[in-house]
Amino acid sequence: MSTSDDLHKKKMATKKAVKDARIAQATEERGVLILLKGNGKGKSSSAIGTMARALGHGKRCAVIQFIKGRNETGEYRFFRDQDNLDWFIMGQGFTWETQDKAQDIEAAQKAWALAEKLLSDDTYDLLVFDEMSYMFKYEYLDVEPVIAALKARPKMQSVIITGRTMATPIQDIADTISVVQDERHAFRQGVKAQAGIEF
């Protein structure tokens, strides 16, 4: 073995020891609340990717889309027939598409009534509340009952909430927060949004 290889081995052994020690310290087993926020591409896709992971381990999942896009999405087409998964499209469209506040509020409240039901059902291992954060930004939903239901949910149930901006009280009780930042986007360089990438 060369000196460089030997050095590499030593460096990696040290790195492994540090990582193993950290792993040994994390012993608590419970469901987690994950927030995916920020203005970058990849929040909803990250949530559904994690869901695919959970489905692969035989977990039962549900998705509630709080906002419906204009197209039938590829993810919905792909996942709608999967076992162990319920997918609910509840929103009426982006709020600048509907331009109707009363209708948006009604849709938000229906979506929340369903979400609240799932949050008390321990047969669900993972819930994805996609684009829920807009409901607080536009004041279509009160945050207090949402916090109460999240806190009272079954111990092993995990929840992922996506959306650009997150209400502070939800951030306060989250276990994991990832911020997806837009450093560059093809769209701004004139590339059309395309099936299989953007929707």
Using CB under 8 A as the binding rule, the residues of this chain from 131 to 160 that contact a copy of itself are 158
Q: In terms of C-beta density within 10 A (0-12 exposed, 13-18 middle, 19 or more buried), how is residue 76 classed? A: middle
Cα angle 55, 160, 27; round to 5: 80
Specify the residue, 44 or 119, whose C-beta has the smaller distance to a copy of itself: 44
CB 94 within 8 A of CB 69: yes
Separation between Cα atoms, residue 111 and residue 190, nearest integer Å: 35
With a CB cutoff of 8 Å and minimum separation 6, the contacts of 1 are: 9
Residue-level length of the chain: 199
Q: 13 and 19 in contact (C-beta within 8 Å)?
A: no
Stretch that binds a copy of itself, among 99-107, 109-117, 142-150 (CB under 8 A): 99-107
Site residue total, a copy of itself (CB under 8 A) = 82
- Name the minimum Å distance from CB 19 to a copy of itself: 6
**Residue 169 CB, nearest distance to a copy of itself (Å)?**
15
Interacting residue with a copy of itself among 69, 74, 137, 149 (CB under 8 A): 74
By CB under 8 A, name the one of 69, 88, 98, 147 that touches a copy of itself: 98
Q: What residues from 6 to 65 belong to the interface with a copy of itself (CB under 8 A)?
A: 8-9, 12-13, 15-16, 19, 22-23, 25-30, 32, 34, 36, 38, 40-57, 59
Which CB atom, from 49 or from 145, has the smaller least distance to a copy of itself?
Answer: 49
Question: Is the CB of 32 or the CB of 147 nearer to a copy of itself?
Answer: 32
Q: How far is CA 70 from CA 65, 147, 182, in A?
A: 13, 30, 22
Among residues 45 and 114, whose Cβ is nearest to a copy of itself? 45
Return the residue of 106, 117, 148, 181 that touches a copy of itself, per CB under 8 A.
181
SS3 61: strand
